[in-house]
Structure 1
Amino acid sequence: MPRKIWSGSINFGLVTIPVGLYAATEDHTIQFHQYERGTTDRIRYKRVNERTGEEVGQGDIVKGREAGDGVITVEQGELDEIAPGRSRTIDISTFVDLGEIDPVHFQRTYWLAPTSGEHYRPYNLLRRAMQETGQAGIATFVLRGKQYLTAVRADEQALALNTLYFADEIRDPGELLDAPSDQASPTDKEIQMATTIIESMSGEWEPEAYEDTYTARVEELLAEKARGGEVAAASAPPQPTNVTDLTEALRRSVDEARKGRQPRAAEDLSALSKAELDDRAKQLGIKGRSKMKRAELEEAIASTPAKAS
């Protein structure tokens, strides 16, 4: 059972629904400790008073900010006292079309669940009504000492809450794009070829089809080092496409697409095991494959056109 990280109520109109907030995702990143190089000695971090050098307990630490010649400190209770709704309400102020929210505003997703059986009816009423209208409720609430702008939306089984960035937290991408217009504008032919490639690679969104291959490779690395074996490096990333080579790269990609296969660059060969790479090399008729190391196999496979079926 996931741990509840916040409890309060969600309000719309005059309806108040007690709910709990739960993380909708979990991190599967491999966790490492830190050690001094050449030893098995763990590295630990302590909270230390910079003047006395003495360690300070968590209960003796308060938040503060420099002001003039001194420091103004605040207790967590004081922050809770001034929080909107005393940090325990999600007040929906308006409903908007979910599709109108630019994805750049989205931060994290949480699940909202009613805190008791008697609150399931109003909870499901709100979920079904938003599902019928395609609307999301915009609200603010305070979590862990920070106020968040949120979008409450209807999922198939539960209410989801997405924390959003405020407008002044979004950086203007125009500040990053300063390329001369004569170099930045593609030709009509290039656009047509790129469109053909995109259409040939289009498909349904199936999140189950994607896996965290890097974590698997890290596990493989650790297991190999534990056995004292040699760790094979992955193939180097493709080189950037030069402007002069752009049309040729597009033409080759279109040819691949018309033959019913994706461009080779779209495949992550690092996700395959050594045995699978050997099998792929055999199917492609790559000579000398039995003597190749992993990185050489990946490079050979990536540069060999697939045989037409």
Structure 2
Amino acid sequence: MKILITGAAGFIGSTLALRLLARGDTVVGVDNLNDYYDVSLKEARLDRCRAHAGFRFERLDIADRPAMERLFREEGFDAVMNLAAQAGVRYSIENPSAYVDANLVGFGNILEGCRHSGVKHLVFASSSSVYGANTKLPFSEHHNVDHPVSLYAATKKANELMAHSYAHLYGLACTGLRFFTVYGPWGRPDMALFKFTKGILEGTPIPVFNEGRMIRDFTYIDDIVEGVVRVIDTPAAPDPAWSGEAPDPATSYAPFRVFNIGNNQPVELLRYIEVLEACLGRKARMDLLPMQPGDVSATMADTAELERAVGFRPATTVEEGVAKFVEWYREYYGVREA
């Protein structure tokens, strides 16, 4: 297939591109290479993809309507994986306009591009953040998600609603993927594991919110990518059992689905740090802080629907995943073992 990956210089996007290229797909990657975090890391990820003949990269912003119209008109994609977004819950409090531009305007341009160019399947990144004020665990796609607690979460919920409207109006097959705390090699520097590793190696205090009592469904990058590939290959279809009398948020009479992709093995943040300490051979100096605005105390994914639909559930433990991240971090930054 010929697949468009937006956010191709990102953590998930670049890893997914490599997987699709390895199986013989043609991949066109787009990214605006913004400076939300280290651009050299984004370039290094792209260099790994550029080593494959089936990869081509264009630097553009998905919020640029004329550029996106041209891209879809000229390329003729079979499928689209939208991973371009302004990420981060806390940053959405500081810079809300970045989320409106990328996550709403940009996503609207992608929907229009898919509609007018005959794309067979649009898969897009949603987030576990859409569960917001929900406290019933594990989080299920069948639960109502009308109470986001950050603008980031609200934009991801909006993406699901926008996609459903295009599935209804134009028959565009759309699948939303609610990712749960993705981590692993080539990860994002603004994520906890990256920050913790850097702080522990430098001997500086690491910020631990909610005094480490937060629980997260940490999901290893290879598990995420495996789930994404299987979903790309399985376009959403109408659910014949769907009823407007008791509407199920997870499915539709239109070709629309949402899935959780999480590890289903939630871990307390303090345990996560313990595993990291063991891998690094050093103890952390922790700055125990209160909960940050927009955060939630616990996440846990019910992955039964994903397993039922594509025959896969994530299984990498944090012990395995954190060890692989530390190995990559030491090699990439040239950090010797203690």
- Determine which structure has more spread, i.e. the larger CA radius of gyration: 1
Q: TM-score with structure 2 length normalisation?
A: 0.17
In terms of fraction of residues, the more strand-rich structure is 1
Q: Which has the higher contact order (CA 8 A, sep 6+)?
A: 2
Q: TM-score by structure 1 length? A: 0.18
